[in-house]
Structures are given as C-alpha cells and as structure tokens.
Amino acid sequence: MSNVAEAQNLMQTIFPAHKHGNVKAAIWAAYRGLKLTTERRAETIWYGIAKRIDASEMDALREARAKQEAAQLAARFNQTAAWLRQSDPEFYQPTIDTLERVAFQLGDQDSPLAKE
C-alpha cells in the first residue's frame, strides 16, 4: 500500500463522514484535528490525490488512530467490568479492578478510577 493510500485510509477511518454529517465536515475535522497546513491539504489526502505524504502528516495520522483505538479498547474494558459487576461482583472483583486500571491507563476519563 502506498503512503497516499494508507494516509487516505487512515483519515477516512479516523474522521468518518457519517460521524461528522458529510464529507466536507469530515475533511474540516481532519484539517483541525491533525493540524494540517491547509484545508486543501486535508482534502487531497481524503480523496487520495496527494502527490506525497510528509512524515509528520503520517505520524499525526498514525498517532490519532492509535488514540482512537485506545479509547475504544478502554470503553470496551469498562463495559466488561460493568457487566462483571452486575453478574457477580464479589467473585470477579480482582478482574474488575484490573480492567478498570487498564482502562484508566489507556486514558479513559469515564473510568471509575478517573473519578477518584
């Protein structure tokens, strides 16, 4: 996969059009979120017509995707901990504690540990 194709895929995954309402809004969100030089630069990456991808742009895309994946994983850990707490909190307490601690370490602000 070329750098341009990878960047396009990452951008459309991180800033999906359906989440932002339309493609133009998603491109604007990508421009702002990734701190790209111009909105046009975000547009050329989005459509896969950029001639090249700077290393700093690719790094920003990869970092944003990693943060997105970490947030999704932390949310899943908290959901699992909540389910275990409803199921049998006494039996699963060590597992619940571990899941909540890992979610907190991943940066989940909804984790019970973040509220302490």
> Would you state the structure tokens that stand for residue 115, as one six-digit string?
């509220």
pLDDT at 102 over 70: yes
Instruction: With cut-offs at 50, 70 and 90, classify the pLDDT of residue 9.
Output: very high
The fraction of the chain above a pLDDT of 70, given in percent, is 92
DSSP summary character for residue 22: S
- For the chain, what is the domain count? 2
Same domain, 75 and 101: yes
Whether pLDDT at 108 is above 70: no
Res. 56: pLDDT tops 90? yes
78 domain-assigned: yes
First to last CA, the chain: 45
Q: What is the DSSP letter of 49?
A: -
Q: Rounded CA gap, 101 and 116, in Å? A: 12
- On whether both 18 and 38 belong to a single domain, the answer is yes
Task: Please indicate, yes or no, if residue 113 is contained in any of the structural domains.
Answer: no
User: CA–CA separation, 14 vs 2, rounded Å?
Assistant: 18
- Are 40 and 22 part of one and the same domain? yes
Residue 79 falls inside a structural domain: yes
Residues 41, 12 within the same domain: yes
Range of the domain at 82: 55-108
Report the distance separating Cα 91 and Cα 69, nearest Å: 29
pLDDT recorded at residue 109 = 58
Amino acid 115: pLDDT: 54
Structure-token match 């604007």, residue found: 28
**pTM listed for this prediction:** 0.77
Residue 56 to residue 52: CA distance in whole angstroms: 12
